[in-house]
Structure 1
Amino acid sequence: MLEQQPENLQFSIKQLATEALQKSEPSAWFEVLYAKAKGDTAQIPWAKLATHPYLQDWLTNHQPFTSQQKALVIGCGLGDDAEAIASLGFEVTAFDISPTAIAWCQQRFPDSTVNYVVADLLAIPSQWHQTFDFVFECRNIQALPLNVRSSVISSITSVIAANGTLLLITHVRDTEVEPSGPPWPLSNSELAQFDNFGLQQVEKLVFWESKGTDVKQVRIEYQRHNLIELSVQPHRV
Protein backbone atom coordinates (compact mmCIF):
# COMPACT_ATOMS: atom_id res chain seq x y z
CA MET A 1 0.00 0.00 0.00
CA LEU A 2 1.16 3.50 -0.79
CA GLU A 3 1.16 4.68 2.81
CA GLN A 4 3.60 1.93 3.78
CA GLN A 5 6.19 2.87 1.18
CA PRO A 6 9.37 4.88 1.88
CA GLU A 7 8.65 8.61 2.03
CA ASN A 8 10.81 9.36 -1.02
CA LEU A 9 8.81 6.87 -3.12
CA GLN A 10 5.53 8.28 -1.79
CA PHE A 11 6.65 11.78 -2.71
CA SER A 12 7.77 10.70 -6.17
CA ILE A 13 4.43 9.01 -6.91
CA LYS A 14 2.40 11.98 -5.68
CA GLN A 15 4.52 14.23 -7.86
CA LEU A 16 3.99 12.03 -10.93
CA ALA A 17 0.24 11.86 -10.29
CA THR A 18 -0.01 15.64 -9.80
CA GLU A 19 1.84 16.30 -13.06
CA ALA A 20 -0.47 13.88 -14.90
CA LEU A 21 -3.54 15.61 -13.47
CA GLN A 22 -2.23 19.00 -14.55
CA LYS A 23 -2.01 17.63 -18.10
CA SER A 24 -5.54 16.15 -17.85
CA GLU A 25 -4.03 12.68 -18.31
CA PRO A 26 -4.87 11.14 -14.91
CA SER A 27 -3.59 7.64 -15.73
CA ALA A 28 -0.46 8.62 -17.66
CA TRP A 29 1.79 8.43 -14.62
CA PHE A 30 1.65 4.63 -14.42
CA GLU A 31 3.79 4.17 -17.52
CA VAL A 32 6.24 6.81 -16.29
CA LEU A 33 6.61 4.93 -12.99
CA TYR A 34 7.14 1.52 -14.63
CA ALA A 35 9.60 2.90 -17.16
CA LYS A 36 11.61 4.76 -14.51
CA ALA A 37 11.84 1.57 -12.42
CA LYS A 38 14.05 -0.05 -15.09
CA GLY A 39 13.16 -3.55 -13.91
CA ASP A 40 13.51 -2.82 -10.18
CA THR A 41 10.34 -4.11 -8.52
CA ALA A 42 11.17 -2.18 -5.33
CA GLN A 43 10.23 0.99 -7.23
CA ILE A 44 6.70 -0.30 -7.89
CA PRO A 45 4.83 0.06 -4.57
CA TRP A 46 2.15 -2.54 -5.34
CA ALA A 47 4.50 -5.15 -6.85
CA LYS A 48 4.60 -7.91 -4.22
CA LEU A 49 5.51 -10.67 -6.74
CA ALA A 50 2.77 -12.84 -5.19
CA THR A 51 -0.98 -13.24 -5.45
CA HIS A 52 -2.85 -10.60 -3.46
CA PRO A 53 -3.78 -12.41 -0.21
CA TYR A 54 -7.39 -11.16 -0.26
CA LEU A 55 -7.79 -12.48 -3.81
CA GLN A 56 -6.16 -15.80 -2.90
CA ASP A 57 -8.50 -16.18 0.07
CA TRP A 58 -11.53 -15.60 -2.17
CA LEU A 59 -10.31 -18.02 -4.86
CA THR A 60 -9.56 -20.72 -2.28
CA ASN A 61 -13.04 -20.47 -0.78
CA HIS A 62 -15.00 -20.28 -4.04
CA GLN A 63 -13.77 -23.35 -5.92
CA PRO A 64 -14.60 -25.28 -8.00
CA PHE A 65 -15.10 -22.96 -10.95
CA THR A 66 -16.69 -23.80 -14.26
CA SER A 67 -14.00 -24.56 -16.82
CA GLN A 68 -13.39 -22.13 -19.68
CA GLN A 69 -14.93 -19.18 -17.90
CA LYS A 70 -13.54 -15.85 -19.05
CA ALA A 71 -11.82 -13.58 -16.55
CA LEU A 72 -10.49 -10.03 -16.77
CA VAL A 73 -7.81 -8.53 -14.51
CA ILE A 74 -7.90 -4.74 -14.47
CA GLY A 75 -4.59 -2.90 -14.12
CA CYS A 76 -2.71 -6.19 -13.87
CA GLY A 77 0.66 -4.73 -12.90
CA LEU A 78 3.29 -7.46 -12.99
CA GLY A 79 0.82 -10.31 -13.50
CA ASP A 80 0.78 -12.37 -10.29
CA ASP A 81 -2.98 -12.10 -9.76
CA ALA A 82 -3.70 -12.93 -13.40
CA GLU A 83 -1.53 -16.04 -13.20
CA ALA A 84 -3.30 -17.23 -10.03
CA ILE A 85 -6.70 -16.91 -11.71
CA ALA A 86 -5.46 -18.65 -14.86
CA SER A 87 -4.13 -21.56 -12.81
CA LEU A 88 -7.73 -22.39 -11.85
CA GLY A 89 -8.79 -22.89 -15.46
CA PHE A 90 -10.04 -19.42 -16.34
CA GLU A 91 -9.40 -18.01 -19.79
CA VAL A 92 -7.74 -14.81 -18.58
CA THR A 93 -7.25 -11.44 -20.22
CA ALA A 94 -5.13 -9.04 -18.17
CA PHE A 95 -4.53 -5.46 -19.14
CA ASP A 96 -2.57 -2.45 -18.01
CA ILE A 97 -2.26 1.03 -19.44
CA SER A 98 1.53 0.72 -19.15
CA PRO A 99 3.27 -0.99 -22.10
CA THR A 100 6.32 -1.44 -19.87
CA ALA A 101 4.23 -3.35 -17.29
CA ILE A 102 2.75 -5.62 -19.96
CA ALA A 103 6.20 -6.37 -21.41
CA TRP A 104 7.38 -7.09 -17.87
CA CYS A 105 4.53 -9.61 -17.40
CA GLN A 106 5.38 -11.35 -20.66
CA GLN A 107 9.03 -11.54 -19.62
CA ARG A 108 8.20 -12.94 -16.19
CA PHE A 109 5.71 -15.52 -17.52
CA PRO A 110 6.90 -16.47 -21.03
CA ASP A 111 4.78 -19.65 -21.17
CA SER A 112 1.65 -18.09 -19.68
CA THR A 113 -1.85 -18.77 -21.00
CA VAL A 114 -2.87 -15.25 -19.97
CA ASN A 115 -3.57 -12.78 -22.76
CA TYR A 116 -1.63 -9.72 -21.60
CA VAL A 117 -2.66 -6.57 -23.44
CA VAL A 118 -2.17 -2.81 -23.25
CA ALA A 119 -5.51 -1.08 -22.70
CA ASP A 120 -6.94 2.00 -20.99
CA LEU A 121 -9.58 1.65 -18.28
CA LEU A 122 -11.02 4.96 -19.48
CA ALA A 123 -11.37 3.61 -23.03
CA ILE A 124 -12.36 -0.05 -22.69
CA PRO A 125 -12.37 -2.01 -26.00
CA SER A 126 -15.94 -2.33 -27.26
CA GLN A 127 -15.52 -6.06 -27.89
CA TRP A 128 -15.20 -6.60 -24.13
CA HIS A 129 -18.78 -5.46 -23.48
CA GLN A 130 -20.47 -7.94 -21.09
CA THR A 131 -17.86 -10.59 -21.99
CA PHE A 132 -16.28 -11.66 -18.70
CA ASP A 133 -17.64 -14.08 -16.10
CA PHE A 134 -15.17 -12.89 -13.46
CA VAL A 135 -13.60 -9.43 -13.19
CA PHE A 136 -10.92 -8.53 -10.65
CA GLU A 137 -10.34 -4.89 -9.74
CA CYS A 138 -7.76 -4.12 -7.09
CA ARG A 139 -7.03 -0.52 -6.11
CA ASN A 140 -7.10 0.96 -9.60
CA ILE A 141 -10.19 3.11 -9.05
CA GLN A 142 -8.68 4.68 -5.95
CA ALA A 143 -5.56 5.62 -7.92
CA LEU A 144 -7.63 7.85 -10.20
CA PRO A 145 -9.11 11.22 -9.24
CA LEU A 146 -12.75 11.78 -8.35
CA ASN A 147 -13.60 13.64 -11.56
CA VAL A 148 -13.20 10.44 -13.63
CA ARG A 149 -14.60 8.03 -11.05
CA SER A 150 -18.07 7.61 -12.54
CA SER A 151 -16.55 6.89 -15.96
CA VAL A 152 -14.19 4.31 -14.46
CA ILE A 153 -16.98 2.52 -12.56
CA SER A 154 -19.12 2.52 -15.70
CA SER A 155 -16.25 0.98 -17.70
CA ILE A 156 -15.69 -1.76 -15.12
CA THR A 157 -19.33 -2.74 -14.87
CA SER A 158 -19.75 -2.73 -18.66
CA VAL A 159 -17.46 -5.75 -19.16
CA ILE A 160 -19.26 -8.08 -16.70
CA ALA A 161 -21.36 -10.78 -18.34
CA ALA A 162 -24.85 -11.75 -17.24
CA ASN A 163 -24.56 -13.65 -13.93
CA GLY A 164 -20.91 -12.56 -13.82
CA THR A 165 -18.92 -11.62 -10.70
CA LEU A 166 -16.87 -8.56 -9.84
CA LEU A 167 -14.36 -8.85 -7.00
CA LEU A 168 -13.33 -5.41 -5.78
CA ILE A 169 -10.48 -4.66 -3.36
CA THR A 170 -10.18 -1.03 -2.40
CA HIS A 171 -9.77 1.56 0.30
CA VAL A 172 -12.99 3.29 1.32
CA ARG A 173 -13.73 6.40 3.35
CA ASP A 174 -16.70 7.17 5.61
CA THR A 175 -17.02 10.75 4.43
CA GLU A 176 -18.04 12.36 1.16
CA VAL A 177 -15.34 15.01 1.62
CA GLU A 178 -12.75 14.78 -1.14
CA PRO A 179 -9.53 13.22 0.21
CA SER A 180 -6.00 14.21 -0.74
CA GLY A 181 -4.27 11.58 -2.83
CA PRO A 182 -3.25 9.43 -4.43
CA PRO A 183 -4.77 7.18 -3.35
CA TRP A 184 -8.29 8.61 -3.18
CA PRO A 185 -10.39 6.09 -1.18
CA LEU A 186 -13.94 5.50 -2.42
CA SER A 187 -16.95 6.96 -0.63
CA ASN A 188 -20.25 5.20 0.05
CA SER A 189 -21.97 7.16 -2.71
CA GLU A 190 -19.28 6.06 -5.17
CA LEU A 191 -19.70 2.43 -4.13
CA ALA A 192 -23.45 2.85 -4.66
CA GLN A 193 -22.77 3.48 -8.35
CA PHE A 194 -22.02 -0.22 -8.81
CA ASP A 195 -25.60 -0.95 -7.78
CA ASN A 196 -26.85 1.76 -10.12
CA PHE A 197 -25.08 0.00 -12.99
CA GLY A 198 -26.90 -3.27 -12.32
CA LEU A 199 -24.67 -5.10 -9.82
CA GLN A 200 -25.78 -6.54 -6.50
CA GLN A 201 -23.48 -6.77 -3.49
CA VAL A 202 -23.05 -10.39 -2.37
CA GLU A 203 -20.41 -10.06 0.35
CA LYS A 204 -18.40 -7.26 1.95
CA LEU A 205 -15.45 -7.84 4.27
CA VAL A 206 -13.49 -5.14 6.08
CA PHE A 207 -9.86 -6.23 6.41
CA TRP A 208 -8.45 -3.31 8.34
CA GLU A 209 -9.20 0.20 9.51
CA SER A 210 -6.62 2.96 9.68
CA LYS A 211 -6.44 4.28 13.24
CA GLY A 212 -7.20 7.96 13.57
CA THR A 213 -8.76 8.17 10.11
CA ASP A 214 -12.00 7.15 8.43
CA VAL A 215 -10.23 4.89 5.93
CA LYS A 216 -10.84 1.13 5.67
CA GLN A 217 -9.71 -1.55 3.25
CA VAL A 218 -12.51 -3.77 1.99
CA ARG A 219 -13.17 -6.68 -0.35
CA ILE A 220 -16.57 -6.63 -1.99
CA GLU A 221 -18.08 -9.32 -4.18
CA TYR A 222 -20.73 -8.18 -6.64
CA GLN A 223 -22.86 -10.14 -9.08
CA ARG A 224 -24.69 -9.05 -12.19
CA HIS A 225 -28.03 -10.80 -12.45
CA ASN A 226 -29.40 -11.97 -15.77
CA LEU A 227 -32.61 -10.01 -15.86
CA ILE A 228 -35.10 -11.36 -18.37
CA GLU A 229 -37.65 -8.89 -19.61
CA LEU A 230 -41.09 -10.45 -19.51
CA SER A 231 -43.34 -9.40 -22.36
CA VAL A 232 -47.07 -9.34 -21.75
CA GLN A 233 -48.83 -11.56 -24.26
CA PRO A 234 -52.36 -10.67 -25.37
CA HIS A 235 -55.03 -12.96 -23.96
CA ARG A 236 -56.53 -15.17 -26.62
CA VAL A 237 -59.96 -16.74 -26.31
Structure 2
Amino acid sequence: MNEEKLNKLRQKVQDLALEYQKKDDFTGWFEKVYSDALEHPQEIPWAKMQPHTCLENWLKTKNISNKKALVIGCGLGDDSEFLAKKGANVTAFDIAPSSIEWCKKRFNDSSVNYLVADLLKLDDSWKNSFDLIFESRTIQALPTSIRREVIEAIATLLKPKGTLLVVTRLRDTEDTPDGPPWPVSDGELSQFHEYGYEEITRIPYSDPNNLSIKQALIEYQRKRL
Protein backbone atom coordinates (compact mmCIF):
# COMPACT_ATOMS: atom_id res chain seq x y z
CA MET A 1 0.00 0.00 0.00
CA ASN A 2 1.43 3.39 -0.93
CA GLU A 3 1.94 6.06 1.69
CA GLU A 4 -0.78 8.37 0.34
CA LYS A 5 -3.40 5.62 0.52
CA LEU A 6 -2.30 4.62 4.01
CA ASN A 7 -2.47 8.20 5.24
CA LYS A 8 -6.01 8.57 3.86
CA LEU A 9 -7.09 5.42 5.66
CA ARG A 10 -5.53 6.57 8.90
CA GLN A 11 -7.30 9.93 8.62
CA LYS A 12 -10.60 8.17 7.97
CA VAL A 13 -10.15 6.06 11.09
CA GLN A 14 -9.21 9.09 13.20
CA ASP A 15 -12.23 11.05 12.03
CA LEU A 16 -14.52 8.09 12.65
CA ALA A 17 -13.17 7.43 16.14
CA LEU A 18 -13.55 11.08 17.13
CA GLU A 19 -17.07 11.19 15.69
CA TYR A 20 -18.10 8.23 17.87
CA GLN A 21 -16.29 9.66 20.89
CA LYS A 22 -18.46 12.76 20.71
CA LYS A 23 -21.41 10.41 21.25
CA ASP A 24 -19.67 8.80 24.26
CA ASP A 25 -19.29 5.63 22.20
CA PHE A 26 -15.62 4.75 22.42
CA THR A 27 -15.71 1.44 20.54
CA GLY A 28 -18.55 1.50 18.00
CA TRP A 29 -16.26 2.77 15.27
CA PHE A 30 -14.38 -0.54 15.12
CA GLU A 31 -17.39 -2.33 13.63
CA LYS A 32 -17.83 0.51 11.14
CA VAL A 33 -14.24 0.11 9.93
CA TYR A 34 -14.56 -3.66 9.46
CA SER A 35 -18.01 -3.60 7.87
CA ASP A 36 -17.05 -0.79 5.47
CA ALA A 37 -14.00 -2.76 4.36
CA LEU A 38 -16.27 -5.39 2.78
CA GLU A 39 -13.63 -8.08 3.38
CA HIS A 40 -10.87 -6.07 1.68
CA PRO A 41 -8.05 -6.05 4.27
CA GLN A 42 -6.24 -3.23 2.48
CA GLU A 43 -9.05 -0.97 3.71
CA ILE A 44 -8.00 -1.57 7.33
CA PRO A 45 -4.80 0.35 8.11
CA TRP A 46 -3.66 -1.94 10.94
CA ALA A 47 -4.33 -5.23 9.12
CA LYS A 48 -0.96 -6.76 8.20
CA MET A 49 -2.32 -10.24 7.36
CA GLN A 50 0.54 -11.84 9.29
CA PRO A 51 1.50 -12.21 12.95
CA HIS A 52 3.13 -9.25 14.63
CA THR A 53 6.91 -9.47 14.30
CA CYS A 54 7.36 -8.78 18.02
CA LEU A 55 5.18 -11.77 18.88
CA GLU A 56 7.06 -14.02 16.46
CA ASN A 57 10.41 -12.98 17.93
CA TRP A 58 9.24 -13.41 21.52
CA LEU A 59 7.96 -16.91 20.85
CA LYS A 60 11.28 -18.07 19.37
CA THR A 61 12.54 -18.83 22.87
CA LYS A 62 9.27 -19.74 24.61
CA ASN A 63 7.24 -22.92 25.02
CA ILE A 64 3.52 -22.20 25.23
CA SER A 65 2.19 -25.69 24.54
CA ASN A 66 -1.15 -26.23 26.26
CA LYS A 67 -1.07 -22.75 27.79
CA LYS A 68 -4.43 -21.01 28.04
CA ALA A 69 -3.98 -17.88 25.92
CA LEU A 70 -6.14 -14.84 25.23
CA VAL A 71 -5.85 -12.36 22.37
CA ILE A 72 -7.53 -9.02 23.06
CA GLY A 73 -8.89 -7.12 20.06
CA CYS A 74 -7.92 -9.94 17.72
CA GLY A 75 -8.67 -8.13 14.47
CA LEU A 76 -8.32 -10.51 11.55
CA GLY A 77 -6.84 -13.32 13.60
CA ASP A 78 -3.20 -13.64 12.50
CA ASP A 79 -1.73 -13.35 16.00
CA SER A 80 -4.33 -15.75 17.38
CA GLU A 81 -3.58 -18.36 14.73
CA PHE A 82 0.16 -18.06 15.33
CA LEU A 83 -0.29 -18.70 19.06
CA ALA A 84 -2.46 -21.71 18.28
CA LYS A 85 0.17 -22.99 15.84
CA LYS A 86 2.68 -22.85 18.69
CA GLY A 87 0.44 -25.11 20.79
CA ALA A 88 -1.57 -22.72 22.95
CA ASN A 89 -5.28 -23.13 23.65
CA VAL A 90 -6.41 -19.78 22.31
CA THR A 91 -9.46 -17.65 22.94
CA ALA A 92 -9.60 -14.51 20.81
CA PHE A 93 -12.18 -11.75 20.89
CA ASP A 94 -13.02 -8.50 19.23
CA ILE A 95 -15.84 -6.03 19.81
CA ALA A 96 -16.60 -5.89 16.08
CA PRO A 97 -18.87 -8.71 14.88
CA SER A 98 -17.62 -8.25 11.32
CA SER A 99 -14.07 -8.84 12.52
CA ILE A 100 -14.96 -12.16 14.14
CA GLU A 101 -17.02 -13.27 11.15
CA TRP A 102 -14.03 -12.46 8.95
CA CYS A 103 -11.70 -14.52 11.18
CA LYS A 104 -13.98 -17.53 11.00
CA LYS A 105 -14.10 -17.32 7.21
CA ARG A 106 -10.34 -16.95 6.90
CA PHE A 107 -9.59 -19.81 9.28
CA ASN A 108 -12.59 -22.11 8.93
CA ASP A 109 -10.83 -25.12 10.45
CA SER A 110 -9.16 -23.18 13.27
CA SER A 111 -8.79 -24.40 16.84
CA VAL A 112 -9.07 -20.81 18.08
CA ASN A 113 -12.24 -19.93 19.98
CA TYR A 114 -13.27 -16.67 18.29
CA LEU A 115 -15.82 -14.56 20.15
CA VAL A 116 -17.53 -11.19 19.94
CA ALA A 117 -16.94 -9.53 23.30
CA ASP A 118 -16.47 -6.13 24.92
CA LEU A 119 -13.26 -5.77 26.95
CA LEU A 120 -15.07 -3.56 29.46
CA LYS A 121 -17.95 -6.00 29.91
CA LEU A 122 -16.30 -9.42 30.09
CA ASP A 123 -17.83 -12.19 32.16
CA ASP A 124 -16.37 -12.48 35.66
CA SER A 125 -15.47 -16.11 34.94
CA TRP A 126 -12.63 -14.83 32.72
CA LYS A 127 -10.83 -13.19 35.64
CA ASN A 128 -7.55 -14.70 36.83
CA SER A 129 -7.88 -17.52 34.29
CA PHE A 130 -5.30 -17.08 31.48
CA ASP A 131 -1.64 -18.11 31.35
CA LEU A 132 -0.76 -15.76 28.48
CA ILE A 133 -2.43 -12.60 27.20
CA PHE A 134 -1.49 -10.78 24.00
CA GLU A 135 -2.68 -7.18 23.69
CA SER A 136 -1.56 -5.45 20.52
CA ARG A 137 -2.52 -1.79 20.06
CA THR A 138 -5.87 -2.02 21.83
CA ILE A 139 -5.03 0.18 24.81
CA GLN A 140 -3.70 2.90 22.53
CA ALA A 141 -6.87 2.77 20.40
CA LEU A 142 -9.06 3.82 23.33
CA PRO A 143 -9.03 7.36 24.75
CA THR A 144 -7.14 8.34 27.86
CA SER A 145 -10.41 9.22 29.62
CA ILE A 146 -11.16 5.48 30.03
CA ARG A 147 -7.57 4.20 30.18
CA ARG A 148 -7.66 3.26 33.85
CA GLU A 149 -10.79 1.19 33.23
CA VAL A 150 -9.20 -0.45 30.18
CA ILE A 151 -6.00 -1.38 32.01
CA GLU A 152 -7.94 -2.76 34.96
CA ALA A 153 -10.03 -4.92 32.62
CA ILE A 154 -6.89 -6.41 31.07
CA ALA A 155 -4.94 -6.77 34.30
CA THR A 156 -7.58 -8.83 36.09
CA LEU A 157 -7.67 -11.55 33.41
CA LEU A 158 -4.25 -13.11 34.04
CA LYS A 159 -3.38 -15.90 36.45
CA PRO A 160 -0.59 -15.39 38.99
CA LYS A 161 2.76 -16.20 37.30
CA GLY A 162 1.10 -15.61 33.93
CA THR A 163 2.55 -13.44 31.16
CA LEU A 164 1.06 -10.34 29.56
CA LEU A 165 2.49 -8.99 26.31
CA VAL A 166 1.57 -5.41 25.42
CA VAL A 167 2.41 -3.96 22.00
CA THR A 168 1.88 -0.23 21.97
CA ARG A 169 2.96 3.23 20.99
CA LEU A 170 4.57 5.15 23.85
CA ARG A 171 4.66 8.79 24.85
CA ASP A 172 7.21 10.52 27.08
CA THR A 173 4.88 12.81 29.06
CA GLU A 174 1.68 12.51 31.04
CA ASP A 175 0.05 15.21 28.91
CA THR A 176 -3.04 14.10 27.03
CA PRO A 177 -1.98 13.29 23.45
CA ASP A 178 -3.82 13.82 20.21
CA GLY A 179 -5.32 10.70 18.72
CA PRO A 180 -6.33 8.16 17.87
CA PRO A 181 -4.17 6.35 18.49
CA TRP A 182 -3.39 7.76 21.91
CA PRO A 183 0.14 6.58 22.85
CA VAL A 184 0.52 5.13 26.34
CA SER A 185 2.59 6.77 29.09
CA ASP A 186 4.72 5.16 31.77
CA GLY A 187 2.36 6.61 34.35
CA GLU A 188 -0.56 4.77 32.77
CA LEU A 189 1.41 1.54 32.43
CA SER A 190 2.35 1.75 36.11
CA GLN A 191 -1.27 0.92 36.89
CA PHE A 192 -0.44 -2.71 36.13
CA HIS A 193 1.68 -2.74 39.29
CA GLU A 194 -1.50 -2.24 41.32
CA TYR A 195 -2.59 -5.70 40.17
CA GLY A 196 0.62 -7.49 41.05
CA TYR A 197 2.46 -7.06 37.73
CA GLU A 198 6.19 -6.71 37.25
CA GLU A 199 7.73 -5.50 34.01
CA ILE A 200 10.18 -8.13 32.74
CA THR A 201 11.39 -6.71 29.42
CA ARG A 202 10.71 -3.77 27.13
CA ILE A 203 11.79 -4.28 23.53
CA PRO A 204 11.60 -1.20 21.28
CA TYR A 205 10.63 -1.63 17.66
CA SER A 206 10.09 0.65 14.68
CA ASP A 207 7.33 1.04 12.14
CA PRO A 208 9.09 1.17 8.76
CA ASN A 209 6.39 3.58 7.58
CA ASN A 210 7.06 5.99 10.44
CA LEU A 211 10.41 5.65 12.17
CA SER A 212 9.72 8.63 14.47
CA ILE A 213 7.00 6.81 16.45
CA LYS A 214 8.21 5.30 19.72
CA GLN A 215 6.88 1.77 20.12
CA ALA A 216 7.66 -1.32 22.17
CA LEU A 217 6.66 -4.80 23.16
CA ILE A 218 6.43 -4.91 26.96
CA GLU A 219 6.47 -8.23 28.78
CA TYR A 220 4.89 -8.41 32.23
CA GLN A 221 4.57 -11.21 34.74
CA ARG A 222 1.80 -11.22 37.31
CA LYS A 223 3.46 -11.97 40.63
CA ARG A 224 0.30 -11.92 42.73
CA LEU A 225 -3.43 -11.17 42.63
- Aligning the two structures, in what range does the TM-score lie when normalised by the shorter sequence? over 0.9
Mapped contact 2:6–2:45 kept (Cα < 8 A): no
Aligned to 1:231: none
Aligned to 2:58: 58
1:196 Cα deviation (Å)? 1.8
Aligned to 1:45: 45
Deviation per CA, 1:199-233, whole angstroms, max 9, x where unpaired?
0011111123976x6x5101110001247xxxxxx
Aligned to 2:151: 153
Aligned to 1:235: none
Deviation per CA, 1:35-92, whole angstroms, max 9, x where unpaired?
0000110111111110100110001122x23x32100000000000000001111110
Equivalent of 1:202, from 200, 203, 224? Answer: 200
> Structure 1 residue runs of 4+, over 4 Å off?
none
Deviation per CA, 1:119-157, whole angstroms, max 9, x where unpaired?
011112211011100000000000000011000000001
Corresponding position: 1:177 with 2:175: yes
How far, CA to CA, are the matches of 1:72 and 1:7 in structure 2?
Answer: 31
How far, CA to CA, are the matches of 1:5 and 1:90 in structure 2?
Answer: 36
Please, which moves more after superposition, 194-203 or 97-106? 194-203
1:176 Cα deviation (Å)? 1.1
Mapped contact 2:132–2:158 kept (Cα < 8 A): yes
Q: Secondary structure at the match of 2:119?
A: coil
Q: Secondary structure at the match of 1:163?
A: strand
Aligned to 2:132: 134
Q: Secondary structure at the match of 2:121?
A: coil
Aligned length, in residue pairs:
221
List gaps (5 residues or longer) in structure 2: none
1:7 Cα deviation (Å)? 2.6
Aligned to 1:218: 216
Provide the TM-score with structure 1 as the length reference.
Answer: 0.89
List gaps (5 residues or longer) in structure 1: 228-237
Aligned to 1:117: 115
How far, CA to CA, are the matches of 1:156 and 1:22 in structure 2?
Answer: 25
1:188 Cα deviation (Å)? 1.2
Provide the TM-score with structure 2 as the length reference.
Answer: 0.94
- Compute the RMSD of aligned alpha carbons: 1.7
Aligned to 1:193: 191
1:170 Cα deviation (Å)? 0.4
Q: Name the aligned partner's letter for residue 23 of structure 2.
A: K
Change (3 A) 1:159 1:5: farther
Q: Name the aligned partner's letter for residue 180 of structure 1.
A: D
1:112 Cα deviation (Å)? 0.3
- Larger Rg over CA atoms: 1
How far, CA to CA, are the matches of 1:5 and 1:61 in structure 2?
Answer: 37
- Aligned-pair identity (%): 46
Q: Name the aligned partner's letter for residue 38 of structure 1.
A: L
1:5 Cα deviation (Å)? 6.0
Mapped contact 1:5–1:45 kept (Cα < 8 A): no
Q: Name the aligned partner's letter for residue 167 of structure 2.
A: I
